[in-house]
Chain A
Amino acid sequence: DIQMTQSPSSLSASVGDRVTITCRASQSISTYLNWYQQKPGKAPRLLIYGASSLQSGVPSRFSGSGSGTDFTLTISSLQPEDFATYYCQQTYSAPFTFGGGTKVEIK
C-alpha cells in the first residue's frame, strides 16, 4: 500500500496568513493526488484533484502543486471559514490511502 505522510499535523495561523501544507507519498503517484477539507462533524469536501485542479466552487485562494512524491496545498490568504482539517489522498492505486490530516487552527 502507498503511505501518505502530511506535515505539519497541526498549525496555528492568523486570518490573512499564507498557509502551506505538504504531503509526501511513499512512491511515485504521478499527479493522482487530491486534497479535502473537513470541518468538525461534517463530511469532507473536495478542494483540489489531480494535484492542481481546483474543484468547481472552491475559492481561488486554494491551490495545489506537485507531482511524483511531493505535493503542496497552499491557502494564499487564510479566511475564518478555512479553519478545518485538511487531508491529502492518493488515487494512483488501490487502496486509495489518505494522509493523517493537518488541523489548521486560529492563532
Chain B
Amino acid sequence: EVQLVESGGGLVQPGGSLRLSCAASGFTFSRYWMSWVRQAPGKRLEWVANIKEDGSEKHYVDSLKGRFIISRDNAKNSLYLQMNSLRAEDTAVYYCARDSNHCHEEWGQGTLVTVSS
C-alpha cells in the first residue's frame, strides 16, 4: 500500500523557518517525481514545487523561489521542503504527492503550517 506521511508542520513566527518531511513507503520512491502542494484555509490548491527522481531537476512556483527549497533523500525514502522567511500568507496545509502520468496520483494526509506571532 502506498503511504505518504507528512510531518514537521506547526506554529512559527513570521520570518521563521520550518522543514517539512514526507516519509514514503509501499513503492520504489527513487523512481518517481515528487511534488509539494499547499492549500490555504478556504482557498484553492496551489502547486509549490516538484523534484525529479534523482533530485537533479527542481521546479518552483515563481512566488516562492528563493524562500522554499525542495529536496529528497532516496536512501531514506523521504521528501523535504525547507521553508524560510515565512509569511502569514504561507499558512496552509502542505501535502506531498507522488507524480506519474503528469498528475499527482497519490497524496499524503497533509501537515498544517501556521505562520503567526
| Chain A residues near B (Cβ < 8 Å) | 1, 32, 34, 36, 38, 42-46, 49-50, 53, 55, 87, 89, 91, 94-101
Report the bound CA distance from A44 to B109 in whole Å: 9
Q: Once the chains bind, are A98 and B44 in contact (CB under 8 Å)?
A: yes
| Chain B residues near A (Cβ < 8 Å) | 35, 37, 44-47, 50, 59-62, 95, 101-110
Q: A43-B109, A94-B59 are in contact. Are A32 and B102 (CB under 8 A)?
A: yes
- Taking CB atoms, residues of chain A closer than 8 Å to B103 are 34, 46, 49-50, 89, 91
Q: A94-B59, A95-B61, A95-B62 are in contact. Are A44 and B104 (CB under 8 A)?
A: yes
Residue of A nearest to B108 (CB): A43
Q: Once the chains bind, are A43 and B59 in contact (CB under 8 Å)?
A: no
Q: A43-B108, A44-B104, A49-B105 are in contact. Are A89 and B59 (CB under 8 A)?
A: no
Report the bound CA distance from A96 to B48 in whole Å: 9
Q: Once the chains bind, are B102 and A44 in contact (CB under 8 Å)?
A: no
Q: Once the chains bind, are A87 and B47 in contact (CB under 8 Å)?
A: no
Q: Once the chains bind, are A44 and B46 in contact (CB under 8 Å)?
A: no
